[in-house]
Structure 1
């Protein structure tokens, strides 16, 4: 199953819904193996926290190299062709979001491709050929694809270990988002660059806040959490537990690979 049909729970309840689009993420459900690994990390993180041992944390600031691939249908703004300042703005938005948690992103390279099929079918048949042709770097490097149109979703990502080093689908690793989500982009309510923050969270190993459904009574939808579904203006935080999980996946799956 994919998260392409889930809409803004908390906002829907209050009648506040974007007229043309709602946040929907096309990231596939994690595999059973990935869920078991997350449970193992959760147990380890809890045990370490109880003893005051913070060895699961990443020392100082970790810098992640980002290769940005702008994929447009034409060399025009309406065709999804972004400028270098658009790309810089996206990296800045990611840095602002992740800086409090010990992660920073540095732009390692930007390329621009005009290919109408890739630009409109990246969430489908064009994903593999596009990524095979454009992906750069190693498993610790984030490949961010900014494409013209994502259809009914805003973006999707791969979890760590699904396409690790040496595996035949290594080239699939990365994040794909609609170019209209960059700061100042065309997608109203979702144009502060935070879709890439949300999808990068998956790339780091995080799940949606509603992953697996909710069975408890009461409670409040965490609309300020980057891994929830909400407008960009609501996003502002990760939890300490999410920070620990990012660190666990980074140290065990991506760092140095």
Structure 2
């Protein structure tokens, strides 16, 4: 009888152990997560046709040198993003080894079933100019309208679809609400990209609000953003006033903010800042050897495939960009999952 009980006990423990192992594997499919293509810093920043308008990657390079722990933190954020997307069976969190597939890996995928609904992000705007009223309320409101249109795929500037990529523009599922505008009359003529404007006028509750500073950056720079994982004291986005909201000109439709918010929500430049061999960690965007500028005629080809020049994470003119992909949407939303880098913004 004792032998029978012992046999049953061993069998029960084996069954429980197998169930626990299966549960662990389901929660942490580590073997299926390829991090071989992960990078933070990039020494090769390349563009085609336009100057370096966005300084987000150069700012990231500087922050990593100043804060050695940032690399590990961003690695962990990337691992968590890929783990979540793998568990959901959704592309968007990196393909390993720069393995983009010409923009066709995620065709007609239904919105990610992440249980988050439309994610609203409250926004504080800090206007820092010698005359802070030079950025009008109408300009502020036009920028908010552009963000809402671009991230919900209701913008009116879309080019005809169906002749470019099988995966057309998608609804990213974000809305933006204006929480407050702070105007600071400051005589400084140029703030640069060393976060000096953030030190002078610190972000307000950055764990729950997105902060945007509007100021004269200088050097022809349109804007820069901080990726998830950086210090709270510098978290947010800096935009040049000439490129904030509807101001006219080729960068005057508010798309600089859309681009920088993409970085803030963990998107890289669509060309990966490293020519054909370096990925943007999104499976349904094609490899590219550099940025595109102006308003290219389709197809603009590099890396043996057509570039997705109309993507918000390229450098084309505002009127000639109109889309995020499904993979980009899924990647941005992953950081709002419980324990994610921006989960504290969920009310």
Instruction: Measure the CA separation in 2 of the matches of 1:208 and 1:156.
Output: 12
2:250 equivalent in structure 1: 189
Structure 2: runs of 5 or more not aligned:
1-40, 62-69, 91-108, 153-170, 278-286, 288-302
* Residue number among 38, 52, 77 corresponding to 1:37 in the alignment: 77
Q: Residues 233-244 of structure 1 correspond to what in structure 2 (within 5 A)?
A: 233-244=319-330
Q: Does 1:25 align with 2:57?
A: no
The answer to whether the Cα contact below 8 Å between 2:217 and 2:223 also exists between their aligned partners in 1 is no
1:85 equivalent in structure 2: 138
2:116 equivalent in structure 1: 59
Equivalent pairs, count: 232
The 1:223/1:88 distance shift into structure 2, 3 A limit, reads: same
2:333 equivalent in structure 1: 247
Instruction: Measure the CA separation in 1 of the matches of 2:211 and 2:227.
Output: 13
Q: 1:254: how far off?
A: 1.4
Instruction: Measure the CA separation in 1 of the matches of 2:111 and 2:250.
Output: 37
2:37 equivalent in structure 1: none
Q: Does 1:127 align with 2:197?
A: yes
Q: Does 1:151 align with 2:219?
A: yes
Q: Does 1:213 align with 2:275?
A: yes
Q: 1:171: how far off?
A: 1.7
Q: Does 1:178 align with 2:240?
A: yes
More divergent stretch after superposition (150-159 vs 91-100): 150-159
The answer to whether the Cα contact below 8 Å between 2:119 and 2:175 also exists between their aligned partners in 1 is yes
Per-residue CA deviation, residues 153-211 of structure 1 (Å, 9 max, x unaligned), is: 11001111212xxxxxx22100001111123326x211100101110111111111112
The 1:153/1:189 distance shift into structure 2, 3 A limit, reads: same
The 1:255/1:176 distance shift into structure 2, 3 A limit, reads: same
Instruction: Measure the CA separation in 2 of the matches of 1:53 and 1:40.
Output: 22
Instruction: Measure the CA separation in 2 of the matches of 1:74 and 1:54.
Output: 44
Q: 1:42: how far off?
A: 2.8
Q: 1:71: how far off?
A: 1.1
Instruction: Measure the CA separation in 1 of the matches of 2:42 and 2:234.
Output: 17
SS at match of 1:67: strand
The 1:103/1:180 distance shift into structure 2, 3 A limit, reads: same
Instruction: Measure the CA separation in 2 of the matches of 1:113 and 1:155.
Output: 19
Instruction: Measure the CA separation in 2 of the matches of 1:74 and 1:130.
Output: 16
Instruction: Measure the CA separation in 2 of the matches of 1:97 and 1:189.
Output: 17
Q: 1:213: how far off?
A: 2.7
Structure 1: runs of 5 or more not aligned:
164-169
Q: Does 1:201 align with 2:262?
A: yes
Q: 1:6: how far off?
A: 4.1
Q: Does 1:101 align with 2:172?
A: yes
Q: Which has the higher contact order (CA 8 A, sep 6+)?
A: 2
Which of structures 1 and 2 has the bigger CA Rg? 2
Instruction: Measure the CA separation in 1 of the matches of 2:310 and 2:111.
Output: 26
SS at match of 1:101: coil
The answer to whether the Cα contact below 8 Å between 2:193 and 2:217 also exists between their aligned partners in 1 is no
